[in-house]
Each structure stands twice: as C-alpha cells, then as structure tokens.
C-alpha cells in the first residue's frame, strides 16, 4: 500500500515540477486541469498513507511524512482557492515552500518504504 502511495506521490511530484516550470517560465498559472489532476493524485496518495497508518505497522517516519504532506496539501489548497480561482498569479514563495515541503515528505516516505526492512514497507 505504501509502495503504491509512493508511486502516486512521485507522479504527483512530476506534475508539480511541470506546473512550477509553467508558473516561472511563462509568468502564468498552470492550467486548471493540471492543477486538479495534481491534487487528485496527491489526495489518493494521502488516503493510502492514512489507511496504512490505521491498518498496519509502519515506520514512524511515515507519520512524519504524512504530517508534511498534509501541510503541503494546505499550501496547495491555498494556492488553488486564494490565487488560481481568483485569477491572481501564484506567489513564488508559496510555490517554492509547497514544493520543498512536499519533496521532503516524499523523500521521507521513500526512505521509510524502500530504505527500511521489507516487513515494514507495507
């Protein structure tokens, strides 16, 4: 389950990199369909991580990764609701903070899933 969540978050990260590139290269917000797909994949990964935490033994690092992913999700929701839907350019600092928090969470999850013992990987 955590392996699937890791894959979903990795795909989500690729979409996030594409959206950041669009934002910084064109000085326009990325298209809504891309942002919504990014959020849907992230929410799917979050759901799997939460389910794994509730149903099986997982390394403590997974809980810390979850907290960071939730923090990143809050930033993503803020960007969508407070800026994108009001057609205001996403602030660079928020895009970068969102990306850094999510990247740290992804690294922690990957280390917990693929760097630990196989019986804890889920």
1-58, pLDDT tens digit by residue?
Answer: 999 999 999 999 999 999 999 999 999 999 999 999 999 999 999 999 999 999 999 9
Query: What is the model's pLDDT at position 83?
Result: 87
Query: What is the model's pLDDT at position 85?
Result: 77
pLDDT band with cut points at 50, 70 and 90 for residue 117: low
Mean pLDDT of 59-76: 96
Checking if the pLDDT of 96 tops 80, the result is yes
Query: What is the model's pLDDT at position 78?
Result: 92
Per-position b or e across 37-75, b if 16+ CB within 10 A of its CB? ebbebbebbbebbeebbeeeebbebbeebbebbebbbeb
Return the C-alpha torsion angle 122, 41, 78, 92, nearest 10. Answer: 100
pLDDT band with cut points at 50, 70 and 90 for residue 116: low
Per-position b or e across 78-117, b if 16+ CB within 10 A of its CB? ebbeebbeeeeebeeeebeebbebbbbbbebbbebbeeee
């Amino acid at each position: 389950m955590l392996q699937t969540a890791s894959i979903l978050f990795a795909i989500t990260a690729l979409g996030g990199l594409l959206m950041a590139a669009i934002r910084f290269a064109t000085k326009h917000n990325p298209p809504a369909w891309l942002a919504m797909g990014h959020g849907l994949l992230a929410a799917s990964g979050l759901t799997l991580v939460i389910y794994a935490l509730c149903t099986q033994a997982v390394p403590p690092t997974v809980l810390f990764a979850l907290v960071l992913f939730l923090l990143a999700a809050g930033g993503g929701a803020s960007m969508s609701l407070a800026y994108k839907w009001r057609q205001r350019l996403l602030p660079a600092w928020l895009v970068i903070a969102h990306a850094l928090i999510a990247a740290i969470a992804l690294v922690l999850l990957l280390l917990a899933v693929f760097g630990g013992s196989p019986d804890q990987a889920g």
